A and B are shown apart, each in its own frame.
Chain A
Amino acid sequence: SYVLTQTPSVSVAPGKTARITCGGNNIGSKSVHWFQQKPGQAPVLVVNDDSERPSGIPERFSGSNSGNTATLTISRVEVGDEADYYCQVWDGGSDHVVFGGGTKLTVL
């Protein structure tokens, strides 16, 4: 089965740039979606199809995907961005939705 690997935690200072990675075999050939989840809340889609931002998501959130790594970039990080972030793909080989293990973003 297809596996997505995320670094468990990332720390960044306010105003700086956070990069959260998602590794998978030839993930560049798949469409990657990113979700933000704050404690006690349902996940929120922040980037879909590698780099598209849903309506209402700040331009500070951007995504890229190439080779074996997809990246969610959060510019000018704010305290309110502190959350868990999950990457996700559709694996056509198994007809499965696959989530990464999640990355906890801490804003110092």
Chain B
Amino acid sequence: QLQLQESGPGLVKSSETLSLTCSVSGGSISIGSTYWAWIRQPPGKGLEWIGSMHHGGGTFYNSSLKSRVTTSIDTSKNKFFLQLKSVTASDTAVYYCASPRVGSLDAFDIWGQGTIVTVSS
């Protein structure tokens, strides 16, 4: 059974870069047409999609974040990564990595537990 686990610093200083890792277990990150996703949720607010990426290099990003987002995949480590630069307090959120159902871009049926990132001034 596929499982995802986020990791990274829980506290990031304003104007610096947030870096998170999603570790994939129970399956290969290189499988088929899976687009691996990052989604976040500010405290008390709704879900916001950050972006989705394929091991072959294809990416889709939320246009509101695109200028600050970088994603990558390490197939040898079965991990994928998120970098968000020039963070502000509004980037404080729970960050989730997620995987969609086979054959889908967006019906996310596997989620990590989420990691809380706080941006401090």
A: residues with CB less than 8 A from B are 1, 31, 33, 35, 37, 42-45, 48-49, 54, 86, 88-90, 94-102
Q: Which residues of A sit under 8 angstroms from B111, Cβ to Cβ?
A: 42-44
How big is the B interface, by class? 20 to 34
Whether A48 and B62, one on each chain, are in contact in the complex, defined by CB atoms closer than 8 angstroms, is no
Within 8 Å of chain A (Cβ to Cβ): is B11? no
Chain A, interface SS category: strand
Question: Judging by beta carbons under 8 Å apart, are B47 and A43 in contact?
Answer: yes
**B49 engages A86 (CB within 8 Å):** no
Report whether A97 and B52 are in contact in the complex, using a CB–CB cutoff of 8 Å: yes
CB-contacts of B67-121 with A (<8 A): 96, 101, 104-109, 111-114
With A and B bound together, what is the CA distance between A37 and B113 in angstroms?
12
Q: Given A42-B96, A48-B104, A94-B63, check contact A86 B46 (CB 8 Å).
A: yes
* Interchain CB contact under 8 A, B47 and A99: yes
